[in-house]
Amino acid sequence: MSLEIRNINKSFGRIKAVDNVSLAIDNGTLVCFLGPSGCGKTTLLRVISGLELPDSGAILVNSQNMSTVPARNRNFGMVFQSYSLFPNMTIAANVAYGLECRKWSRADISQRVNNMLSLVHLEDQSHKFPHQLSGGQQQRVALARALAPKPSVLLLDEPLSALDAKVREELREEIKTLQRNLNITTIMVTHDQEEALTMADRIMVMKDGKVMQTGSPMDIYHRPENPFVAQFIGRMNIVPAGIGIPFSSNGDSKGARAKILGIRPENIKLSDDPASNGELTGIVDRISRLGNLTRFKISLPNKNGLGPVTVVSEVQGSSHDLQVGTPKVLKINPETVRVLEWG
């Protein structure tokens, strides 16, 4: 199913939780809503599910307007952040619940529950109660329960945030594989950029209820359109254009002057060759050795009255021969520099 979110607005009193959000989601894709706490991700997901009514705007499934259809009739599967299983029901009963509500036959329910539990590798746990499972297992049951009634769209609200790092990583892959195999249109809310970058086909970055940028993980990482997205996803040096770092113009020929530039630390290389062609020389201020990675803080000379500017450079491997106070020439490919604001 394809899904279209059209100009959704939702306020709580004076708080604008969702501010004119639009997005088209292709059939079978996984989209992540990514943004800091309080930016409106859950509210938007609840509006899509029908649990919350928008002030204005529409939700369309395969071009059909679902805005007035109650949540229970939308046939969307939902997984919440945590503790969403019925504690007094067995795992099998939890998964069966939605099917009983939909009046499936006993035989069909039994078969579907078995299929769903083996899909999430819990076929031998069906008689247990939720408190007898680990957090990761509980979230897999929640996933099985959401998928059991064959929903047209799967909505996941931070399904992994309550789990420890290792389980989270395993489940990421499991969910992604499941989603791809079932070819089910999925929205996943997260504030974890790594989760979004590894799982999503498309990412919608939000701030204060508004969409900051929508694109593929590669777009969002390599071609951020504003300082917020640039800094929210990975590390990014944000510097005034006048400091002298080379840049290409994002293919933008409008002739406006670049004002703010963004450069990823891995795109600043340090060299001992003499500076040529206006290359910048900086002084190594600080060195952090992080095992497989070395991070340098470099201060650049004051230029055009822009004050001292520091940038961070990251180099793979551990480099032992560098010392604080050493001058280094910055090697930067202009193609890797983004113009984040035009003057």
Residues interacting with ligand ATP, by CB under 6 A?
A: 12, 15, 17, 35, 37-43, 191
Q: Does 42 bind Mg ion (CB under 5 A)?
A: yes
Q: 43 contacts which partner out of ligand ATP, Mg ion, none, CB within 5 to 8 A by kind?
A: ligand ATP
- Judged by CB, which is closer to Mg ion: 46, or 140? 46
CA distance linking residue 213 with residue 216, whole number of Å: 10
- What is the token pair recorded at 70? 């109650």
Q: What φ, ψ does residue 180 adopt, rounded to 5°?
A: -70, -45
Q: Which stretch binds Mg ion (CB under 5 A): 36-44, 207-215, 297-305, 326-334?
A: 36-44
- Min dist. Cβ of residue 231 to ligand ATP (A): 17
Pair of tokens at residue 54: 């928008």
What, of Mg ion, ligand ATP, none, does residue 313 touch, CB below 5 to 8 Å by kind?
Answer: none
- Residue 185 touches which member of Mg ion, ligand ATP, none, C-beta under 5-8 Å by kind: none
- Identity of the amino acid at 23: L
**Close Cβ partners of 213 (under 8 Å, ≥ 6 residues apart):** 204, 205, 219, 220, 224, 225, 226, 229
**Spatial contact of 229 and 38, defined as CB atoms under 8 Å apart:** no
Question: Which DSSP string do the residues of 155-212 spell out, in sequence order?
Answer: EEESTTTTS-HHHHHHHHHHHHHHHHHHT-EEEEEES-HHHHHHH-SEEEEEETTEEE
| Cβ 161 to ligand ATP shortest distance, Å | 9
d(CA 9, CA 24) in angstroms, rounded, equals 16
Are the C-beta atoms of residues 270 and 328 closer than 8 Å to each other? Answer: yes
Measured from the CB atom, is 35 or 262 closer to ligand ATP? 35
Q: Which is nearer to ligand ATP, 17 or 119 (CB)?
A: 17
* Nearest distance in Å: CB 175, ligand ATP: 19
- Residue 39 contact partner, candidates Mg ion, ligand ATP, none, CB within 5 to 8 A by sort of partner: ligand ATP
Q: Write down the least CB distance from residue 39 to ligand ATP, Å.
A: 4
Backbone angles phi, psi at 30, to 5 degrees: -110, 120
**In terms of CB distance, is 139 or 313 closer to ligand ATP?**
139
What's the half-sphere exposure (Cβ side, CA atoms, 13 Å) at 99?
A: 23
Q: In whole angstroms, what is the distance from residue 108 CA to residue 96 CA? A: 10
State the nearest-atom distance from the C-beta of 59 to Mg ion, in Å.
Answer: 18
CB nearer to ligand ATP: pick between 148 and 160: 160
Give how far Cα 34 sits from Cα of 139, 212, 312, Å: 20, 10, 25
12 binds, among ligand ATP, Mg ion, none (CB under 5 to 8 A by kind): ligand ATP
Tokens of 254: 């409008």
Which does residue 29 touch among ligand ATP, Mg ion, none (CB within 5 to 8 A, set by kind)?
Answer: none
Q: How many helices (H) and strands (E) does the chain have?
A: 8, 18
The H-or-E segment that residue 113 falls in is: helix 106-119
Interface with Mg ion, residue 43, by CB under 5 A: no
Binding region for Mg ion (CB under 5 A) out of 34-42, 101-109, 204-212, 286-294:
34-42
- Name the binder of 63 from ligand ATP, Mg ion, none, CB < 5-8 A by kind: none
Residue 334 DSSP label: G
Quick one: 158 or 225, whose CB is closer to Mg ion? 158
CB nearer Mg ion, residue 42 or residue 125: 42
* CB of 52 vs ligand ATP, minimal distance in Å: 8
CB of 213 vs ligand ATP, minimal distance in Å: 16
Instruction: Give the nearer residue to Mg ion in terms of CB position, either 39 or 144.
Output: 39
Q: Between residues 28 and 135, which has the closer beta carbon with respect to ligand ATP?
A: 135
Chain residues in the site for Mg ion (CB under 5 A): 42
